[in-house]
Amino acid sequence: MSAFDIYEKTEFEAALTRLIADNLDVNEWIFKMDNEYDGRGHASLKVDQVRTILELRKKKVEMTEPVTKRLQEVVARILPKKVKIAQPTLYRNWEEYMEGFCKDGGVIEAAPPLFNVNQVMSPSVSFFIEPDSNI
């Protein structure tokens, strides 16, 4: 459940809408910039309290084109208000974050059910390769 190689705001909104529509049970979505590290380019959006999404879940509506279009309008409207930026000292608001995201690209991923946005982590491995190819 992800979208990648996103370089435009409209592409971002369309991809996120498509992911939400196809995965209504996901409560949180993570956004990651391609050229950042240590969680500097991360942001998240909780959708479990968005009225439109709650109604779609409850009514189990078929995701037709008009329904998806309406969902995309809702997504575009809530993003600037509800996104939690992991490093607000680097990206003060949604517009600055989106500018950085689109500059180098990024991904949208479904958050694991027990994800905690206040606990920014990036898995990594450290190793050294010597000139003679020993690791």
Instruction: Reply yes or no on whether the pLDDT at 16 is more than 80.
Output: yes
The pTM for the full model equals: 0.76
How distant, in Å, are the alpha carbons of 28, 72, 78 from that of 56?
16, 13, 16
How distant, in Å, are the alpha carbons of 14, 40, 43, 112 from that of 88?
24, 9, 9, 23
Q: Which of 5-14, 55-64, 121-130 has the highest mean pLDDT?
A: 5-14
How distant, in Å, are the alpha carbons of 32, 50, 85 from that of 104?
11, 29, 17
| Other Cβ atoms within 10 Å of 124 Cβ, number | 7
pLDDT in tens, 18-70: 898 888 889 899 999 988 877 788 999 998 888 888 888 888 877 788 888 88
pLDDT in tens, 61-103: 777 888 888 888 988 998 999 999 988 889 899 999 999 999 9
**Domain chopping of the chain, boundaries:** 2-109
